[in-house]
């Protein structure tokens, strides 16, 4: 049974919305200030297990509506950046998940269970990597200090479930007008700003903890001063239409002064802002392009990449040309995008005295490789189970060269998930499904929580006419995404194709029992909200 988003909004949220909207801003703020002492680890707070379940419910709905940008390169980047902060805070990366949201607004938010969302607008607005890291450190501080657990701890379980659905709905509404219309019809006038905001004491504590973590992780603490100071200046101009981050994280003069004092910058002049590395500038370029959706927006963005521009702060010639390649690809001009991608690499090499191929930034090499694949190996139109399964001896000269380039890229960046996924996809486009199957099975052992690995594994199994394996790979993908009922259904289908294989049936049964346990636990957690 699939979760009914609109029914949930209409039937389970209205009561909590009416209660919340009946509170005046003053009473609401007073209620937040009466939360348990920030220094007290006990008291009325959500358990770690329930906090994780609540976050998982929100994320499941969020993913269902396609609100999460799964680009492996940018997602991998913010995850590595976040994990560096988490480790400096002596926390386990397994308790956190960083995800990307395609939205021009300057915002980031922490949700129950260690889920931290990062808007593409925040990446684009950050002028140094340390600035971006400072925001992530602040959000991690909210999680490690259990501000979210205390924020929701005193709510009844039925109210928690309704709140989870409401937060997911409001998050989706930011990028899905249709969902936003449905919310208006349901009377959901309650703001996400109120749901995801914290008390002033919590904000100050997240500042302090985040600052120390930023320092311990080796980032420039000036980044926090610069970014928050710039937001504070902007807030005077925006007034009632402030950026999202200012609404959910209200800045005060005292907070800014405290951050400056900690950095020891009271008497130091502000330094000139500049990019810390080309790698970060390339990530910013990609974030800028993600936000452009219409043809006119893409055309306008293409013009901004013609030369260095002050507005976005993109000045490196290689980064500008990389941006042109991304935009041209989004406009469907694959050949022009490939030429621009190759030119970006040439510009990068021209600016270096001596350079090895492996030192060319990953994003530049990946973009050129992706364009070459799209032109030489376009996605086949025939269904997977009707495509020919080939081996290397059947490849022509052009395909052999392309496979060599893919293999070289994989070897140079063997620890990059985005490259591994591209390599597996390349094998499939070449018809080398047996090779991709073996490669992905090995990959699935090391990356058990990456659904895209199992999506590709399902494609290889289908092309190899192994339906049981195909449906079990899909089941695993659904399981990782928290969609336990579809996972159970896929496992049931797999059993029909494995009826004569005792060992495979036993394996499928074990997985299906695991999915059912998870579904039962989720149902138990949510039953009071129905």
Residue keyed to tokens 């999202």:
244
Domain boundaries, the chain: 5-34+47-220, 279-376
Q: Active-site residue 310, yes or no? A: no
| In the block, residue with structure tokens 């006119």 | 296
Alpha carbon separation from 471 to 150, 437, 457, 496 (Å, rounded): 41, 14, 10, 10
Res 110 pLDDT > 50: yes
**pLDDT average, residue stretch 419-424:** 97
- List strands edge to edge, sheet with 97-101: 97-101, 115-119, 108-111
Does residue 86 register a pLDDT over 70? yes
**How many helices (H) and strands (E) would you count in the chain?**
27, 3
* Full-model pTM: 0.81
pLDDT digits (tens, 9 = 90+) for 310-329: 778 899 999 999 999 999 99
243 — pLDDT class (breaks 50, 70, 90): low
Q: What pLDDT does residue 38 have? A: 34
Q: Would you place residue 22 in the very low, low, confident or very high pLDDT band (cuts 50, 70, 90)?
A: very low
Q: What is the pLDDT of residues 159-196, one digit of tens each?
A: 666 666 666 665 665 555 554 444 333 333 334 444 45
pLDDT one-digit tens code per residue, 329-347: 999 999 999 999 999 999 9
Q: Apex CA 164: angle with CA 158 and CA 168, to 5°?
A: 150
Q: Which of 71-80, 217-226, 254-263 has the lowest mean pLDDT?
A: 254-263
pLDDT at 231: 80
Q: Is the pLDDT of residue 11 over 60?
A: no
Higher pLDDT, 95 or 529: 95
DSSP-derived secondary structure letter, 91? -
What is the mean predicted confidence (pLDDT) over 455-477?
97
In total, the chain counts a number of residues equal to 530
Catalytic residue among 207, 281, 489, 522: 207
> Token pair 């904000």 is at which residue?
203
For range 223-229, the mean pLDDT: 87
Alpha carbon distance 83, 74 (integer Å):
14
For range 360-379, the mean pLDDT:
94
Pick from 271, 281, 341, 280: nearest CA to 316 = 281
Residue with tokens 């500049």: 274
With 50 as the cut, is the pLDDT of residue 43 above it?
no
- Catalogue the E-assigned strands of 43-84: none
507 pLDDT above the threshold of 70: yes
pLDDT at residue 192 in the model: 44
Question: In Å, how far are 156, 457, 527 from 27, measured between CA atoms?
Answer: 19, 53, 30
Residue 65 confidence (pLDDT)? 79
Q: Can you tell me the mean pLDDT for 11-28?
A: 29
The answer, yes or no, to whether residue 380 has pLDDT greater than 50, is yes
Mean pLDDT of the chain: 80
| Nearest one of 426, 397, 392 to 410, comparing CA atoms | 426
Q: Where are the beta strands (DSSP E) in 173-306?
A: none
Which one from 73, 139, 281, 316 is the annotated catalytic residue?
Answer: 139
Q: Establish whether 281 is a catalytic residue.
A: no
Q: Which pairs with CB-CB distance under 8 Å and at least 24 residues apart come from 444-452?
A: 444/476, 447/417, 448/480, 449/480, 450/417, 450/480, 451/476, 451/477, 451/480, 451/481, 452/70, 452/72, 452/421
- pLDDT, residue 310, reads 76
- Dihedrals φ, ψ of 338, to 5°? -65, -45
Q: Can you tell me the mean pLDDT for 280-307?
A: 94
Lowest mean pLDDT among 13-17, 52-56, 297-301, 450-454: 13-17
């Amino acid at each position: 049974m699939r979760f009914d988003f609109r029914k949930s909004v209409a039937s389970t949220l209205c009561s909590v919305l009416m209660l919340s909207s009946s509170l005046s801003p003053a009473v609401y703020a007073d209620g937040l200030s009466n939360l348990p002492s920030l220094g007290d680890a006990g008291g009325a707070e959500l358990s770690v297990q329930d906090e994780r379940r609540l976050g998982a419910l929100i994320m499941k709905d969020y993913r269902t509506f396609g609100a999460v940008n799964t680009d492996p390169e940018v997602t991998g980047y913010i995850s590595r950046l976040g994990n560096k902060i988490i480790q400096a805070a002596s926390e386990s990366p397994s308790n956190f998940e960083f995800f990307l949201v395609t939205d021009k607004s300057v915002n980031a938010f922490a949700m129950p269970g260690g889920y931290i969302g990062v808007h593409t607008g925040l990446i684009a607005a950050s002028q140094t990597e340390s600035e971006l890291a400072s925001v992530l450190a602040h959000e991690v501080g909210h999680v490690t200090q259990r501000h979210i657990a205390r924020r929701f701890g005193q709510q009844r379980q039925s109210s928690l479930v309704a709140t989870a659905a409401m937060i997911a709905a409001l998050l989706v509404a930011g990028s899905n007008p249709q969902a936003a219309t449905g919310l208006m019809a349901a009377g959901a006038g309650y703001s996400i700003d109120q749901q995801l905001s914290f008390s002033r004491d919590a904000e100050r504590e997240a500042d302090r903890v985040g600052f120390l973590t930023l320092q311990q992780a080796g980032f420039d603490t000036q980044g926090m001063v610069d970014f928050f100071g710039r937001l504070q200046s902007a807030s005077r101009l925006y007034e009632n239409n402030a950026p999202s981050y200012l609404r959910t994280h209200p800045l005060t003069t005292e907070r800014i002064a405290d951050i400056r004092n900690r950095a020891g910058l009271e008497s130091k002049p502000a330094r000139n802002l500049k990019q810390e590395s080309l790698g970060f500038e390339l990530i910013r370029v990609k974030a800028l392009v993600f936000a452009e959706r219409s043809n006119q927006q893409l055309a306008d963005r293409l013009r901004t990449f013609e030369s260095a521009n002050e507005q976005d702060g993109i000045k490196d010639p290689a980064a500008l040309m990389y941006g042109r390649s991304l935009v041209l690809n989004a406009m469907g001009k694959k050949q022009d995008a490939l030429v621009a991608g190759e030119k970006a690499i040439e510009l990068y090499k021209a600016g270096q005295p001596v350079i090895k191929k492996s030192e060319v930034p990953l994003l530049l090499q990946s973009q050129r490789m992706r364009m070459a694949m799209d032109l030489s190996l376009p996605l086949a139109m025939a269904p997977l189970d009707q495509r020919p399964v080939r081996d290397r001896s059947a490849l022509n000269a052009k395909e052999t060269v392309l496979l060599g380039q893919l293999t070289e890229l994989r070897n140079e960046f063997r620890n990059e998930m985005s490259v591994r996924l591209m390599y597996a996809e390349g094998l499939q486009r070449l018809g080398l499904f047996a090779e991709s199957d073996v490669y992905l099975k090995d990959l699935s052992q090391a990356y058990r929580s990456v659904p895209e690995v199992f999506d590709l594994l399902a494609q290889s199994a289908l092309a190899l006419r192994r339906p049981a394996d195909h449906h079990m790979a899909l089941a695993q993908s659904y399981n990782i995404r928290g969609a336990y009922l579809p996972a159970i259904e896929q496992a049931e289908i797999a059993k029909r194709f494995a009826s004569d294989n005792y060992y495979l049936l036993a394996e499928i049964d074990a997985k299906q029992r695991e999915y059912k346990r998870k579904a039962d636990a989720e149902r138990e957690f949510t039953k009071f909200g129905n």
